[in-house]
A and B are shown apart, each in its own frame.
Chain A
């Protein structure tokens, strides 16, 4: 295009020059000089134009080179843009990967925290197990031993290697494989049950006979949901033997006491028979008092013997049907002789018959009334009330004595427990009357309990099922 412009301008300049030659033709000389000057100028101008053309050509070439350079740079830029695009995609992928790693790290941290907590719990549990004096096992659902404490290893002279992971029945040459233990253990998980005070005697080689008391409970390890069994045991061999020796001693002692009591009692009765019509009233009265004391002694001996029988599950009673009200009436009359201070009032009736041991039920009446007399030294009335329901006869015996502290109400039926007065002194007796009374009631499927307020007296109740005719 620059060339065209240049040519056009050149043509125009030639035409202007021709026209100048024509117009000034008339004048030849003067004007020749001017024309020569003009021609020289034109030559210069032409040269100048040619130079400019060359320069323009150079510029054009430079422009071509610049354009080529620009095109190259554009290509480069496009390449860079493509590379940047790839780099961006790579970065996005790496970000996703990093996020995944962050999530994984968070999970791993939680797992570590859980493991630490678990280890703390384990250490806590092992600390407790280790310090326990009683043997203890933790079993899995297949009854394999997961954990045993030191007391277990010591008690049964067994090592951890022989214990942990073993089936409980396999221990000690299968001496632990007893039907009663199997029955109790195998019910725990399916029935979600527990057992207490299961007494089993084992005969361990090298250890001899061992009497063990078992408690079993179901445990759930909540973090992992595993069902376990906690089996605690107590070696009661010594305790049982001691108890047996005590009971045996009591049985023997009471048996031995009965012989001299029999002799004295019989002698007193012979004397009473011989002197019953005597005018010697002092002798008659003394013999009567001796007789009463011997009966009291006989009762104490019998009570001691009964305690040992109750402990040995050998407390047996008769079963005969009898009218209940006459028994109550007889006992109130006979107990009235025990105290001049107290009036024993009998009220109400049951009009019922009861099946059981008349003498034993009489002992319950007597025990409670004698206690009422002893525990109400400042009162003068004891009220015996008979009532009944459709199924039971009910007796209440109320005194107005020292009463029983709240914390002692359950203990008074325990063996050898005695209620004291405000000075801490106990009343006479062995503390076995209510223990025996409770055993008698239990044998008759009856109940015995007390309602009392310290300082306001006590009311003892007992109920017995009516006889089914």
Chain B
């Protein structure tokens, strides 16, 4: 039983269904409530879910994760949601900074690293 993480909401947006599947499986092991999407469907959906942390891919179909980040950070209701850039690009840190994200997780990652990072960011939210 993960008291600290139970019920905390994680939203993952990635255009690869395989990644969405493993993220969900891995995070559910720690009893997070995981919401996944292959595209960014708008601020409204994010506001509705109100995740404690978001994992966001850079290369989305027809969208750029950096632009999505900026849009979320500009919006009053979503600007405090921690956004972690999830990417296979080698310059993940640079991309995250450029987008104004709160962190980055390069693919492929160690499971322990995913859990540590998620725990760290969700523990900050109320």
Q: Which residues of A contact B (CB under 8 A)?
A: 255-256, 258-263, 265-267, 269-270, 273-274, 294, 298, 305-306, 309, 314, 316
The residues of B that contact A306 with a CB separation of less than 8 Å are 90
CB < 8 Å neighbour of A269 from B23, B89, B90, B111: B111
B90 touches A309 (CB 8 A): yes
Q: B62 an interface residue at 8 Å Cβ cutoff?
A: no
Q: Report the minimum CB–CB distance from B17 to chain A (whole Å).
A: 9
The residues of A that contact B89 with a CB separation of less than 8 Å are 255
17 extra interface residue pairs, beta carbon distance < 8 Å, beyond A270-B26, A294-B108 = A255-B89, A258-B88, A259-B18, A259-B19, A260-B18, A262-B107, A262-B109, A263-B19, A265-B108, A266-B23, A266-B25, A266-B108, A270-B22, A270-B111, A309-B90, A314-B91, A316-B91
Cα A298 to Cα B21 with chains together (Å): 20
CB < 8 Å neighbour of A258 from B23, B91, B108: B108
A266 touches B88 (CB 8 A): no
Q: B45 an interface residue at 8 Å Cβ cutoff?
A: no
The residues of A that contact B26 with a CB separation of less than 8 Å are 266, 269-270
The residues of A that contact B88 with a CB separation of less than 8 Å are 255-256, 258-259, 262
A263 touches B90 (CB 8 A): no
Q: Report the minimum CB–CB distance from B86 to chain A (whole Å).
A: 9
CB < 8 Å neighbour of B18 from A263, A270, A294, A298: A263
Q: B110 an interface residue at 8 Å Cβ cutoff?
A: yes
Q: Which residues of B contact A (CB under 8 A)?
A: 16, 18-19, 21-23, 25-26, 29, 88-91, 107-111, 114
Q: Report the minimum CB–CB distance from A184 to chain B (whole Å).
A: 33
B25 touches A261 (CB 8 A): no
Cα A306 to Cα B91 with chains together (Å): 11
B108 touches A298 (CB 8 A): yes
Q: Which 10 A-B pairs have the closest CB atoms?
A: A258-B88, A263-B18, A266-B22, A262-B108, A269-B111, A262-B107, A265-B108, A255-B88, A258-B107, A261-B108
Cα A262 to Cα B110 with chains together (Å): 9
Cα A268 to Cα B30 with chains together (Å): 16
A266 touches B111 (CB 8 A): yes
Known contacts A259-B16, A262-B107, A262-B109; is A267 also within 8 Å of B22 by CB? yes
Q: Report the minimum CB–CB distance from A334 to chain B (whole Å).
A: 15
CB < 8 Å neighbour of B107 from A259, A267, A273: A259
Cα A191 to Cα B18 with chains together (Å): 63
Q: Report the minimum CB–CB distance from B55 to chain A (whole Å).
A: 12
The residues of A that contact B23 with a CB separation of less than 8 Å are 266
Cα A364 to Cα B18 with chains together (Å): 33
Q: Report the minimum CB–CB distance from A317 to chain B (whole Å).
A: 12
Cα A457 to Cα B31 with chains together (Å): 54
Q: Report the minimum CB–CB distance from A96 to chain B (whole Å).
A: 90
The residues of A that contact B111 with a CB separation of less than 8 Å are 266, 269-270, 273
Q: Which of A256, A259, A260 neighbours the largest number of chain B CB atoms within 10 Å of its CB?
A: A259
A305 touches B110 (CB 8 A): no
Q: Which of B19, B26, B90, B111 neighbours the largest number of chain A CB atoms within 10 Å of its CB?
A: B90
Cα A316 to Cα B111 with chains together (Å): 25
Cα A28 to Cα B64 with chains together (Å): 195
A309 to B, closest residue via Cβ: B90
B25 touches A270 (CB 8 A): yes
Known contacts A273-B29, A305-B90, A309-B90; is A263 also within 8 Å of B109 by CB? no
Cα A259 to Cα B16 with chains together (Å): 8
Q: Report the minimum CB–CB distance from A231 to chain B (whole Å).
A: 38
Cα A256 to Cα B107 with chains together (Å): 11
Cα A262 to Cα B21 with chains together (Å): 11
The residues of A that contact B109 with a CB separation of less than 8 Å are 262, 265-266
Q: Report the minimum CB–CB distance from A292 to chain B (whole Å).
A: 14
Q: Report the minimum CB–CB distance from B26 to chain A (whole Å).
A: 6
Cα A375 to Cα B90 with chains together (Å): 31
The residues of A that contact B107 with a CB separation of less than 8 Å are 258-259, 261-262
Cα A294 to Cα B25 with chains together (Å): 19
Q: Report the minimum CB–CB distance from B18 to chain A (whole Å).
A: 4
Q: Which of B91, B107, B109, B114 neighbours the largest number of chain A CB atoms within 10 Å of its CB?
A: B107
The residues of A that contact B90 with a CB separation of less than 8 Å are 305-306, 309
The residues of B that contact A270 with a CB separation of less than 8 Å are 22, 25-26, 29, 111
List 20 contacting pairs A-B, 8 Å CB cutoff, sorted by A. Answer: A255-B89, A259-B107, A261-B107, A261-B108, A262-B18, A262-B108, A263-B16, A265-B108, A265-B109, A266-B111, A266-B114, A267-B25, A269-B110, A270-B22, A270-B26, A273-B111, A294-B108, A298-B108, A306-B90, A316-B91
